[in-house]
Amino acid sequence: MADRIRKAVFPAAGLGTRFLPATKASPKEMLPLVDKPLIQYSVEEAVKSGIESILIVTGREKAPIENHFDISFELEQLLRERNKDELFAMVREISEIAQILYTRQKQALGLGHAILQAEDFSPNEPFAVLLADDVVDSEVPALKQLIDVYEKYEAPVVATMQVDGPAISRFGVIDAEEVEPNVFRVRDMVEKPAFEDAPSDLAIIGRYILTPDIFPAIQKTKKGAGGEIQITDAMRDLLDERPFYAVKLEGTRHDAGDKLGFLIATVEFALKRDDLGDEFREYLRSLDL
């Protein structure tokens, strides 16, 4: 039987250059979609998918992430005194969501290098990786969709989505054979290919199930696209040694680390809210666009 996926790693040490100046002194992962920080959406997704233990890889200027998942004594006391029971419960719940550990990536040398910081956290068992700026709005939590494939094939899994046209060059792209609807066995993968060289229209997005043999593979990986140590290059190295799978996610993925993607996600999430949706829709309709 496949090992159960209990652990998840959240690389959150990137510099967020696409969202400057907001990310100059604040973590991108704390940008809110309506009222909830990006990282809380993906931590909730992980917990709903069965994750028990979380490692967040942070860097400089990332303390607000730790504070967010910690107990906030003053705030809790104030909410209690003012009989704001619902808010109190909501704030307390965030600090009890899962066991969360932190480690620092001292230099932002790339996603592969960030994942390497998790070697001591999960030296012997498979683990999930979630990138908080990829927000997936789906019926079945995105990570759960990967875990289902992992449990069936007992091999690492990457999440993918279809990307049409030249935009594919912004992603890692797989060459793969479909083995059942929306599940693929990966033949090859390449990071940020030129549009003409992309092996398919299936782009890798920010959810992975990896096995500990990824760590020596990352250590061997040289700097690739953008001068960073790319996880795609390390995974590619492993393809000669073991099967690798991909799942085309059901749901809508938003790139909330990008300004336009963030705006779209904000509008869509706000429209779905019971407390805001109707008024917001009315406001949008009133705009003379």
Q: Where do contacts with ligand UTP occur on this chain (CB under 6 A)?
A: 11-19, 28, 57, 105, 108-111, 113-114, 131-133, 257
- 30 or 79: CB nearest ligand UTP: 30
Beta bridge partners of 158: 208, 246
Task: In angstroms, give the least distance from the CB of 63 to ligand UTP.
Answer: 15
- Cβ–Cβ < 8 Å for 223, 172: no
Residue 28: phi and psi, rounded to 5, are -55, -35
- 45 or 133: CB nearest ligand UTP: 133
- 132 or 270: CB nearest ligand UTP: 132
Distance CA 152, CA 92 (A): 37
- 12 or 143: CB nearest ligand UTP: 12
Q: Give the list of residues 6+ apart from residue 274 with CB closer than 8 angstroms, or none.
A: none
- Cβ–Cβ < 8 Å for 242, 126: no
Task: In angstroms, give the least distance from the CB of 114 to ligand UTP.
Answer: 3
Task: In angstroms, give the least distance from the CB of 202 to ligand UTP.
Answer: 18
- 28 or 236: CB nearest ligand UTP: 28
- Cβ–Cβ < 8 Å for 130, 39: no
Residue 157: phi and psi, rounded to 5, are -135, 140
- 13 or 214: CB nearest ligand UTP: 13
Task: In angstroms, give the least distance from the CB of 279 to ligand UTP.
Answer: 32
Report which of 141, 105, 98 is spatially closest to residue 6, judged by C-alpha positions.
98
- Cβ–Cβ < 8 Å for 167, 146: no
Report which of 166, 188, 193 is spatially closest to residue 177, judged by C-alpha positions.
188
Task: In angstroms, give the least distance from the CB of 17 to ligand UTP.
Answer: 3
User: How far, rounded to the nearest angstrom, does the alpha carbon of residue 287 sit from its chain's CA centroid?
Assistant: 33
Structure tokens at 251: 């749901």
Task: In angstroms, give the least distance from the CB of 119 to ligand UTP.
Answer: 15
Residue closest to ligand UTP (Cβ): 14
